Amino acid sequence: MKIIKAKTAGFCFGVRRAVDTVYEQLAENSGQKIYTYGPIIHNEEVIKDMEKRGVTVLRSEEELEAVTEGIVIIRSHGVEKRIYEKLNSRQITVVDATCPFVKKIHTIVERESEKGKHIIIIGDPEHPEVKGIRGWAGKDTTVIQSVSDMEKLPVEKKKKICIVAQTTFNYNKFKDLVEIISEKSYDVSVLNTICNATKERQTEARSIAEAVDAMIVIGDKHSSNTQKLFEICNRACKDTYYIQTLDDLDLNQLGSVETVGITAGASTPNNIIEEVQNNVRIIF
């Protein structure tokens, strides 16, 4: 009987860094009010724990504007440049937990905009990361996510264009859109800014799910990357369980299987994964 836990289960580098930053700030600045601009990750358990320790989650720009002092932590998705400007003009310490891979995109779009290029961001315009990236580029910027968005592109021929991607965008879709844009008569430079963490987690989950009798996917019900992970695993293994914590798992269901795989979404903390793994191990 065997348990296979995915090496890529749980936090990616950027999320781990952001979560650690919050706990470090709590430890180092006990007398100060600590805020995160938006929930630091999509995981109710973690957010509840942070709130219990005194962290306040600011859920809108209005709430951010009402803050007059203390520490505001920027989450891994990053934010628009104007948010830093707003915070820096007050008695507020900004602790930046923007993932360095996202920060790199901010630097690229700001630099290329200053050179006069039109910026194309391939990604979901409603996603906070994309809104943040857009806020570092000039006015001459378009966000596209499908072929139907092509009509939004500039009409001027020979226009200098710089293309970047949302870090979690699907690589094949990105490649197809870049190909279509490149066929138009622009002067195009492409920077593939997709982060491999999501893809690696999905690839590993698929190969484990194909090899086991039952698969457990751990993550918040609202986490879109966990939902995707569940879909992938469920396609490869009929006995796939989507749980938030150990409480959701009926261990009796696993009674007759010989191999169990475990993976988790990018916002699932290690202690939850370990608790599941240890309890599954007990029944084997």
Judged by CB under 6 A, the stretch of 54-62, 148-156, 179-187, 194-202 that binds ligand F3S is 194-202
Pick the closer one to ligand F3S by CB: 80 or 129.
129
- Write the DSSP symbol of residue 148: G
Alpha carbon separation from 41 to 15, 251, 284 (Å, rounded)? 7, 28, 33
- Write the DSSP symbol of residue 102: H
CA angle at residue 35 from 32 to 36, to 5 degrees? Answer: 150
Restricting to residues 59-78, which ones interact with ligand F3S according to CB under 6 A?
76
Q: Is 167 annotated as a binding residue?
A: yes
Among 14, 78, 123, 261, binds ligand F3S (CB under 6 A): 14
Q: Is 106 annotated as a binding residue?
A: no
Alpha carbon separation from 178 to 159, 164, 183 (Å, rounded)? 15, 10, 9
Q: How far apart are CA 86 and CA 184, in angstroms?
A: 39
Name which of 167, 168, 114 is nearest 141 in CA terms.
114
* Structural tokens at position 53: 């320790």
> Whole-number minimum distance, CB 5 to ligand F3S, in Å?
19
One-letter amino acid at 127 equals: H
Q: Which residues face 241 on adjacent strands?
A: 216
Pick the closer one to ligand F3S by CB: 15 or 121.
15
Judged by CB under 6 A, the stretch of 13-21, 145-153, 229-237, 251-259 that binds ligand F3S is 13-21
Name which of 137, 97, 100, 103 is nearest 121 in CA terms.
137
Closest residue to ligand F3S, judged by C-beta, is 14
Query: What contacts 172, CB < 8 A, 6 or more positions away?
Result: none
List 129, 151, 156, 258, catalytic entry: 129
The kind and range of the H/E element at 5 are strand 2-5
Q: How far apart are CA 86 and CA 152, in angstroms?
A: 30
> Whole-number minimum distance, CB 164 to ligand F3S, in Å?
12
13 lies in the binding site for ligand F3S (CB under 6 A): yes
36 lies in the binding site for ligand F3S (CB under 6 A): no
Q: Is 226 annotated as a binding residue?
A: no
> Whole-number minimum distance, CB 268 to ligand F3S, in Å?
13
Torsion angles phi and psi, residue 72, rounded to 5: -110, 125
Binding mask 152-171 toward ligand F3S (x if CB under 6 A, else -) reads: ---------------xx---
Q: Is 225 annotated as a binding residue?
A: yes
Q: How far apart are CA 216 and CA 7, in angstroms?
A: 14
User: Has 129 been annotated as catalytic?
Assistant: yes
105 lies in the binding site for ligand F3S (CB under 6 A): no
> Whole-number minimum distance, CB 261 to ligand F3S, in Å?
21
> Whole-number minimum distance, CB 15 to ligand F3S, in Å?
5
Pick the closer one to ligand F3S by CB: 103 or 175.
103
Cα–chain-centroid distance for residue 40?
Answer: 10
Q: Which of the residues are catalytic?
A: 129
| Binding-site residues from annotation | 12, 42, 77, 99, 127, 167, 195, 223-225, 267
Return residues touching ligand F3S (CB under 6 A).
Answer: 12-15, 76, 99, 101-102, 167-168, 195, 197-198
